[in-house]
């Protein structure tokens, strides 16, 4: 139940952020599904570990792989899929909390959250880096299949 | 004649790089797109792009020509990135001529490609229901967050549009959201003001720019990464200040009433 609701709401969230950042219309649905799968992976892995790195890294890995595949099929730069998909994972609220604590003079909490922000962002970026290098290895398989299918048609 | 042609090409390339960079493409992609277009147009050009300056340079028999553009950090419009990308693909596969490329880049630069306001308002509401808080906050609070998020998004857009001060939009957004959320909590309607604030701030917080900036740093585009990252940090700080002032005002108002 939690997974289903999480899937639906992260789909809506990704869709919404896509509209706010003006992605092309044909990107909206694939990006929404990619983002929802990423969030589901995050939900699945989060209870298994105490670290915040692993869930974020795996979620980014899934988004990276699905995003790259989608980008080939709908012909857009892959960044256009990443940006809306990231909205539920990124440490935006943590960095806000950190800077708020900083303004209020709670320097310990501020530093703690700032480092958490950097950790999460790095984990996400590493996930993307791994996904992209994996995808580069498999890219020719996907494009070969597409050419074959077009040839058959 | 050849001279004028080269001038035109590097000017168009500079404009393309500026549009791409300001609307959310990564620095490496910007540089490679421009060099690609140059090659398709038949000249060997070099492009150096950072968030503060873009240089497009070409060396030929007549000497060395450089074109300079000044990009600004601004909010994303990914539709423009996509259109430029399509255009550069069409140009390099020789489907369109250089004159067409020139006029269409000009058109993309000036035209406002946007979703309609009702669509944007609904989306801001959807983003404001954070999946992170789905089972931590009460459903009532999430419903409030939907509407307060819309108000905060509208307030920050309005303030950003009508003022030249950078970051004023972020401050206003934070202020409106925390003012309403704290008032609702103080009036005994909502369950937790901090849950509402966190959820409703989702469309405003600079999480995505921050993650992008780290990605640029990983790719060794350190200047662009730092500029984007610092901008994200300033936006987060502005929202934080706005939120603190909002809470303070709400408490003050309740005290007076």
Q: Distance from B257 to chain A by nearest Cα, in Å?
A: 26
Which band of pLDDT confidence, cut at 50, 70 and 90, is reported for residue B3? low
Q: Please, which residues 111-150 of chain A have a Cβ atom closer than 8 Å to chain B?
A: 117-118, 121-122, 124-126, 128-129
pLDDT of B175: 92
B200 touches chain A (CB under 8 A): no
- Residue B172 CA to its chain's centroid (Å): 18
Question: What SS3 state is found at B203?
Answer: coil
- Residue B69 CA to its chain's centroid (Å): 18
- What residues in B contact A96, CB-CB < 8 Å? 201, 205, 236, 239-240, 243
pLDDT of A152: 47
Of B214, B123, B83, nearest in space to A125 by CA: B214
Residue B209 CA to residue B225 CA, distance in Å, equals 10
Mark yes or no for CB contact B130/A13 under 8 Å.
Answer: yes
Range of lowest pLDDT (A119-128, B13-22, B93-102): B93-102
Please give the average per-residue pLDDT across B132-140, as a whole number: 79
Does A72 score more than 80 pLDDT? Answer: yes
pTM check: above 0.90: no
Query: Sign (positive/negative) of CA torsion B230, B233, B237, B242?
Result: positive
Residue B214 CA to residue B226 CA, distance in Å, equals 8
Length of chain A: 153
Range of lowest pLDDT (A23-32, A135-144, B112-121, B208-217): A135-144
Question: What SS3 state is found at A49?
Answer: coil
Q: Distance from B219 to chain A by nearest Cα, in Å?
A: 10
pLDDT of B1: 40
Does A129 score more than 70 pLDDT? Answer: yes
* 8 Å CB contact between B77 and B23: yes
Q: Please, which residues 222-241 of chain B have a Cβ atom closer than 8 Å to chain A?
A: 232-233, 236-237, 239-241
A86 touches chain B (CB under 8 A): yes
Please give the average per-residue pLDDT across B21-42, as a whole number: 85
* 8 Å CB contact between B210 and A92: yes
Q: Distance from A153 to chain B by nearest Cα, in Å?
A: 24
- Beta-carbon count within 10 A of A121 CB: 29
Length of chain B: 257
Residue with the larger pLDDT of the pair B60 and B84 = B84
Please give the average per-residue pLDDT across B115-132, as a whole number: 85
Q: Is A143 exposed, middle or buried (0-12, 13-18, 19+ CB in 10 A)?
A: exposed
Q: Six-digit token pair at B211?
A: 């993650």
- What residues in B contact A99, CB-CB < 8 Å? 233, 236-237, 239-240
- Beta-carbon count within 10 A of B30 CB: 25
Query: So where are chain A's domains?
Result: 2-152
Question: From the list A2, A96, A126, which residue is nearest B239 (CB)?
Answer: A96
Please give the average per-residue pLDDT across B3-7, as a whole number: 70
Q: Distance from B73 to chain A by nearest Cα, in Å?
A: 14
pLDDT of A58: 92
Please give the average per-residue pLDDT across B218-237, as a whole number: 89
Question: What SS3 state is found at B55?
Answer: strand
Please give the average per-residue pLDDT across B14-28, as a whole number: 87
Residue with the larger pLDDT of the pair B66 and B137 = B66
pLDDT of A146: 63
Cα separations (Å) of B217 from B73, B208, B213, B229?
A: 16, 14, 6, 9
Interface confidence: ipTM more than 0.90: no
Residue-wise pLDDT for B35-71, tens only, equals 888 888 888 888 888 888 889 888 877 788 888 888 8
3-state helix, strand, coil in chain B (%, to 5): 70, 5, 25
Q: How many CB pairs under 8 A join A and B?
A: 164
Q: Please, which residues 21-80 of chain A have a Cβ atom closer than 8 Å to chain B?
A: 21-24, 27, 39, 75-77, 79-80
Q: Distance from B144 to chain A by nearest Cα, in Å?
A: 16
Residue B61 CA to residue A70 CA, distance in Å, equals 44
Does B76 score more than 90 pLDDT? Answer: no
pLDDT of A153: 44
pLDDT of A149: 57
Give the nearest chain A residue to B203 (CA atoms): A17
A103 touches chain B (CB under 8 A): yes
Tokens 């070409």 locate to: B58
pLDDT of A138: 80
DSSP β-ladder status, B45-49 and B54-60: antiparallel
Mark yes or no for CB contact A9/B123 under 8 Å.
Answer: no
* 8 Å CB contact between A17 and A81: no
Residue B108 CA to residue B140 CA, distance in Å, equals 43
Q: Distance from B56 to chain A by nearest Cα, in Å?
A: 22
Average pLDDT, chain B: 85
């Amino acid at each position: 139940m939690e997974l289903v609701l999480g899937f639906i709401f992260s789909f809506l969230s990704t869709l919404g952020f896509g509209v706010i950042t003006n992605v092309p219309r044909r990107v909206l649905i694939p990006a929404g599904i990619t983002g929802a799968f990423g969030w589901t992976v995050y939900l699945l892995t989060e209870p298994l570990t105490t670290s915040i790195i692993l869930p974020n890294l795996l979620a980014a890995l899934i988004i990276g792989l699905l995003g790259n595949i989608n980008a080939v099929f709908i012909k857009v730069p892959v960044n256009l899929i990443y940006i809306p998909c990231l909205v539920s994972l990124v440490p935006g609220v943590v960095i806000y909390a950190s800077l708020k604590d900083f303004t209020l003079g709670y320097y310990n909490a501020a530093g703690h959250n700032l480092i958490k922000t950097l950790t999460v962002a790095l984990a996400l970026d590493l996930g993307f880096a791994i996904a992209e290098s994996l995808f580069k290895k498999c890219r020719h398989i996907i494009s070969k299949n597409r050419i074959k299918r077009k040839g058959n048609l | 004649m050849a001279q004028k042609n080269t001038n035109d090409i590097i000017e168009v390339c500079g404009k393309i790089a500026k549009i791409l960079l300001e609307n959310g493409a990564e620095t490496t992609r910007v540089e490679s797109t421009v060099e690609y277009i140059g090659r398709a147009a038949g000249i060997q050009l070099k492009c150096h792009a950072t968030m503060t300056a873009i240089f497009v340079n070409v060396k030929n028999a007549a000497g060395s020509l450089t074109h300079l553009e000044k990009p600004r950090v601004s909010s994303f419009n990914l539709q423009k990135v996509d259109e430029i990308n399509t255009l550069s693909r069409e140009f390099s596969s020789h489907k369109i001529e250089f004159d067409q490329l020139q006029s269409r880049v000009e058109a993309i630069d000036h035209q406002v490609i946007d979703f309609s306001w009702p669509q944007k308002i609904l989306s801001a509401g959807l983003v404001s229901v954070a999946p992170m808080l789905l089972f931590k906050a009460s459903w009532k609070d999430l419903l409030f967050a939907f509407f307060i998020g819309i108000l905060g998004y509208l307030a920050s857009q309005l303030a950003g549009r009508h003022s030249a001060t950078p970051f004023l939009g972020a401050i206003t957004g934070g202020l409106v959201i925390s003012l309403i959320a704290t008032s609702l909590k103080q009036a005994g309607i909502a369950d937790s003001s901090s849950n509402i604030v966190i959820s409703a701030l989702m469309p405003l917080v600079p999480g995505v720019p921050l993650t992008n900036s780290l990605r640029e740093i990983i790719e060794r585009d350190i200047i662009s990464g730092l500029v984007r990252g610092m901008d994200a940090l300033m936006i987060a700080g502005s929202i934080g200040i706005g939120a603190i002032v909002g809470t303070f005002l709400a408490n003050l108002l309740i005290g007076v009433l």
